[in-house]
Amino acid sequence: MNGMAEDRIHHRFEFYSAQYARLGTDTAAEIWREVYGEDLGQQGWRTLDEQAQIAELIGTSSCDVLDIACGSGGPSLALVASTGCKLTGVDIEAPGIEYAQRLALERGLADRAHFVVCDCRNRLPFEDESFDFAVCIDAISHLGDRFAALSAWSRLLRPGGRLLFTDSVVLTLLAPDHRRQ
């Protein structure tokens, strides 16, 4: 990766560090509820319907789930609560992971939810075939070499395991659907 690309990625991480520093304050929570309604405890665009669809894909079981770039853990913990899964969340941002760990304790889910600080752009610190399901929501574009990331994540899945990833798609204003009449 060249220097400019590294600078852009570093700048993104600085942005999220600042967001995590405000997370959990009364003011931030009030603004979030006013703007988005239900708070999943995240700094992202995931809706309650999308969260329910992910939970449905996981099913109600005790499967092992990996949440890659889990952020502050709110959606991760919602999956644990709704599916009964055991979840490991990973993210590069220590403040986000610390917040996730605190939420897990507060919600009584620390026995089924574990959070680890690690750089998701590198090899993740888990044995091959450790998980039944892996999820990466709206973060793969931040990881640089997407093909390398997907390849690395696939080794972590048990036979028959599934990977779900999403990314926000931005359509240009020149797209036919968005042209002004």
Mean per-residue pLDDT, 39-50: 63
pLDDT score of 60 more than 90: no
For the ranges 5-9, 44-48, 84-88, the lowest mean pLDDT is seen at: 5-9
Inter-residue contact 89 to 70 (CB < 8 Å): yes
**Helix axis angle, 94-106 to 3-22, nearest 10°:** 30
24: left (phi over 0), alpha (psi -120 to 50) or beta: left
For residue 3, what pLDDT band results from cuts at 50, 70 and 90?
low
Confidence of residue 43 (pLDDT cuts 50, 70, 90): low
From 2-6, 23-27, 67-71, the region with the lowest mean pLDDT: 2-6
In this predicted structure, the answer to whether residue 52 has a pLDDT above a threshold of 70 is yes
In whole angstroms, what is the distance from residue 44 CA to residue 76 CA? 12
pLDDT of 29 reads 62
Nearest Cα neighbor of 137 from 40, 56, 50 is 50
Average predicted confidence (pLDDT) for the chain: 79
Which region among 87-96, 98-107, 164-173 has the lowest average model confidence (pLDDT)?
A: 164-173
More confident residue, 122 or 178: 122
Cite the beta strand spans of the chain per DSSP E: 64-68, 86-91, 113-117, 131-137, 157-166
pLDDT at 139 over 70: yes
Architecture of the structural domain at 3-168: 3-Layer(aba) Sandwich (3.40)
Q: Mean pLDDT over residues 81-94, rounded?
A: 94
Both tokens assigned to 163: 């990977």
Query: Is pLDDT larger for residue 180 or for residue 177?
Result: 177
What would the pLDDT profile of 61-79 be if each residue is shown by its tens digit? Answer: 789 999 999 988 988 999 9
The helix (run of H) or strand (run of E) holding residue 55 is helix 48-58
| Domain residue extents for the chain | 3-168
Which residues fall within 8 angstroms of residue 172, CB to CB, at 6 or more apart? 178
